[in-house]
Copies of this chain bind each other. A is one copy, B any other.
Amino acid sequence: MSMENIGRVAAHEPPYYTVVFTSVRPDRPEGYGETAERLNELVQEVPGFLGYESARTPGGLAITVGYFRDEEAIAAWQQSLEHQAAQKRGRAEWYESYSVHIGKVERSYGFERE
């Protein structure tokens, strides 16, 4: 099933990959905002990066979904030294817990109000 144009939410032709990152952290830990902004710039340069979406319940869970064309694109992002340094700082200072689920998407669909 191919994906319709669904406006504010991502539309990509399968196959592609979702990297689901769920995390628990304080609202505004020191240094977090600047690092997130820098990573947002960096990831745009990764060949095969398709975009990301993020939501966070105040005081609760955050979920970010990154969309990548293939495993190579994910590996390139994971091998970024600046990304690795940020992950290390995240474990040391920011996150209570997180989980990462890397899935190969063969099927997607969407809806947009007319």
Chain A residues proximal to chain B, CB less than 8 Å = 3, 6-11, 17-18, 20, 22-24, 53-58, 60-63, 65, 67, 91, 95-113
* Alpha-carbon distance A62/B63, docked complex (angstroms): 9
Secondary structure of the A side of the interface?
strand
Within 8 Å by CB of A105, from B61, B62, B102, B113, lies: B102
Identical subunits present:
2
Q: How far is the CB of A26 from chain B (nearest CB, A)?
A: 12
Contact assessment for A109 and B100 in the assembled complex, using a CB-CB cutoff below 8 Å? yes
Report the 5 A-B pairs with minimum CB-CB distance, sorted nearest first: A103-B103, A99-B110, A9-B99, A55-B63, A55-B55
- A90's nearest neighbour on chain B, judged by CB, is B111
Contact assessment for B97 and A102 in the assembled complex, using a CB-CB cutoff below 8 Å? no
